[in-house]
């Protein structure tokens, strides 16, 4: 007969927490990893034991050096949230790799969700080389930078100064400064500004486009080594990744092309962009709910929602009765050239 001695190192985090937490049939061991940071969302019944939980997760996760717990909901203004450190060193500077792109940021000041990697990849796959992208809520650049690496031209904006700064650094880090121009503006203001300036820069006879100077930045964007050939006088795609309120920003597109061109009818050299808007819904009819809400924001007849050139893509489940979707909608001509929109 042989004695087997099992020590702390021999047990998994799940085994340990089930043995030390009272009435714990399901130990709280799940977390999202952002670089070296493990982000947990502990339920109220586990808060009393959060220090123990954090230390066990730290001990049992070789690539984790800090464990944090989310304290409240995401702030809709800057998309960050309060958190507490449960274990490890207080180092919020994360480095994350998605495919061939690298992102560095202060996780305590910006929004990042590693679970959205498949959505980043999916949407970027729809952007062709040479296309132009207007990223309204760009964060630290998870859509903008991979798109630029594919050869797209991107004007990327975020209201959060920390996200704007991180995006600028990531643009340099990934060597796409010739194709990405960061901005730090309100989303609606940026939509008006970006489309108007793009239209001006692509005046008749132009065959290439350089990035604009960065708004509120101390330095200008690096000049492209090669001209970026343009095919239209409007952006090909718009990305609005702020699911809690992004649908509401569709109102900024009503009358946009009328204000931009001074014309109330569509011109052949100006394409109507596809707007990719991330959103949440709790409806049992998610597609209809999302399209109806989009109609209301656009000022488009709700009873004609089926006539929109649009598709609704399921992204992920956020909560038991709350799902995230992406609405990809071609801006209707009647909306783009509406003359009754208030600025």
CATH of the domain spanning 8-91:
3.30.300.110
Q: Which of the 8 DSSP states describes residue 258? A: H
- Pick from 113, 141, 279, 256: nearest CA to 196: 256
- Report CA Rg, the chain: 23
Decide: 182 and 137 in contact? Cβ < 8 Å: no
- Pick from 140, 92, 136, 93: nearest CA to 116: 140
Question: What is 147-207 written as a DSSP string?
Answer: HHHTT-EEEEE-S-HHHHHHHHHHHHHTT-TTTEEEE-S-HHHHHHHHHHHHHHHT-TT--
Element (H, E) at 53: helix 50-60
Quote the pLDDT of residue 231: 62
User: Domains of the chain: which residue ranges?
Assistant: 8-91, 113-336
pLDDT by residue for the chain (343 residues), tens only, comes to: 677 777 777 788 888 888 888 876 678 889 999 999 999 999 888 899 999 999 999 999 999 999 999 987 666 577 778 899 999 999 999 999 999 999 999 999 999 999 999 999 999 999 999 999 999 999 999 999 999 999 999 999 999 999 999 999 999 999 999 999 999 999 999 999 999 999 998 875 454 455 544 455 444 444 444 555 566 789 999 999 999 999 999 999 999 999 999 888 887 778 999 999 999 999 999 999 999 999 999 999 999 999 999 999 999 999 899 999 999 999 999 999 999 866 5
Beta bridge partner(s), residue 37: 34, 66
Report the CATH superfamily, name and number, of domain 113-336: Vaccinia Virus protein VP39 (3.40.50.150)
Quote the pLDDT of residue 232: 76
pTM for this prediction: 0.89
């Amino acid at each position: 007969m042989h004695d087997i001695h099992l020590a702390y190192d021999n047990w998994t985090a799940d085994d340990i927490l089930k043995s030390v937490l009272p009435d714990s049939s399901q130990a709280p061991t799940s977390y999202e990893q952002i670089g070296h940071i493990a982000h947990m969302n502990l339920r109220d019944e586990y808060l009393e034991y959060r220090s123990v939980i954090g230390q066990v997760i730290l001990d049992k996760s070789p690539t984790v050096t800090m464990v944090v717990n989310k304290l409240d909901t995401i702030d809709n203004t800057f998309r960050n949230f309060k958190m507490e450190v449960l274990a490890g060193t207080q180092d919020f500077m994360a480095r994350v790799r998605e495919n061939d792109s690298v992102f560095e940021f202060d996780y305590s000041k910006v929004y990042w969700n590693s679970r959205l990697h498949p959505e980043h990849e999916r949407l970027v796959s729809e952007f062709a080389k040479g296309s132009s992208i207007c990223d309204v809520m760009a964060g630290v650049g998870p859509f903008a930078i991979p798109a630029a690496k594919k050869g797209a031209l991107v004007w990327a904006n975020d209201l959060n100064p920390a996200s704007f700064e991180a995006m600028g650094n990531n643009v340099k880090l990934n060597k796409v400064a010739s194709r990405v121009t960061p901005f730090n503006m309100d989303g609606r203001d940026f939509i008006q500004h970006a489309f108007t300036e793009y239209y001006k820069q692509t005046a008749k006879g132009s065959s290439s486009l350089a990035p604009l100077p960065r708004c509120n930045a101390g330095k200008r964007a690096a000049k492209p080594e090669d001209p970026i050939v343009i095919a239209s006088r409007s952006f090909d795609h718009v990305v609005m990744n702020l699911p809690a309120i992004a649908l509401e920003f569709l109102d900024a597109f009503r009358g946009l092309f009328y204000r931009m061109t001074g014309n109330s009818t569509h011109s052949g050299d100006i394409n109507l962009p596809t707007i990719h808007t991330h959103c949440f819904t709790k409806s049992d009819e998610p597609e209809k709910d999302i399209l109806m809400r989009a109609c209301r924001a656009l000022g488009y007849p709700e009873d004609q929602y089926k006539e929109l050139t649009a598709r609704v893509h399921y992204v992920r489940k956020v909560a038991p009765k709350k799902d995230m979707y992406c609405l990809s909608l071609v801006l209707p001509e009647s909306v783009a050239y509406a003359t009754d929109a208030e600025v």
